[in-house]
Amino acid sequence: MEFINLGSTTLAAQYVAIELLRQIQSNKRSKLGLATGGTMEPVYAQLVQLIQSNPVDLSEIQTFNLDEYYELDTESKQSYLYYMKHHLFNHIDIRPEQYNFPNNDSVQLEADNEAYDRLIMQDHPINLQLLGIGTNGHIGFNEPGTPFDSNTRMVELTNETIQANARYFDSIEEVPTKAVTMGIRSIIKSHRIILLATGEKKKPIMKQLFQMKYPDEVIPASVLIHHPNVLVVTDDAASPY
């Protein structure tokens, strides 16, 4: 696991966006694992600009999002499908059948979760997985204590995560307490992983992750320690140095 501090939040987002573009250009059938949240907004803004400024064929790429709130209307402005459309999909030449999300409906949820795992691994794993990190070390919505061999499933969100997500809702009572998340098993099988952390709130967990020598399920992101191709990108505020 390699760490690099790029100084400014803007430069960190630009770098990640460039790596996403390079992956698409190097393999027009790329599978991209995508994340949401405030950290990723400048990444997608930069990626849109890059795609619009460069010759790139998006017709055969597939994207797989990490998570979606459980039983939240996907047309809601708080859904992650809406987030991805607003920040990326509506601004590039990509068809709805090319982007994938875990099903957040209670009907046949277990079967749908298994189908999502199969789809992720069909032909080959994700080529480039983009990750954020929670202040408690979660990746996706895999909260502390999640087994490293976990699959896509419905999860209960911790109070810390609910509090962190409250800024996207009118009140904390409206924040979903459950979500459906891609499991750590699928994440860790990705060929390449970039974890982006920005802002001073992420510094404590980044310091903790930087100092860890062995994976521990108490810090879900520590599963990345022994992955052969992981880059952790930070700005000054989140840097563990």
Q: List, by residue number, the catalytic residues.
A: 67, 136, 138, 143
Cα radius of gyration rounded to whole Å, the chain: 17
Extended beta strands in the chain, E state: 2-5, 31-34, 62-65, 67-69, 99-100, 128-131, 153-156, 178-181, 192-197, 230-234
What phi, psi does 197 have (nearest 5°)?
-135, 125
For the beta sheet containing 62-65, the strands, ordered from the edge strand earlier in sequence to the opposite edge, are 2-5, 230-234, 192-197, 128-131, 31-34, 62-65, 99-100
DSSP letter at 64 equals: E
What phi, psi does 62 have (nearest 5°)?
-130, 140
Do 237 and 6 form a contact (C-beta atoms < 8 A)? no
Bridge partner residues of 179 (DSSP): 69, 155
Measure the CA–CA gap between 36 and 39, rounded to whole angstroms.
Answer: 8
Residues with Cβ within 8 Å of 118's Cβ and at least 6 positions away in sequence, in order, are none
Exposed, middle or buried, 167 (CB in 10 Å: 0-12/13-18/19+)?
exposed
Q: And the tokens for 76?
A: 């809601």
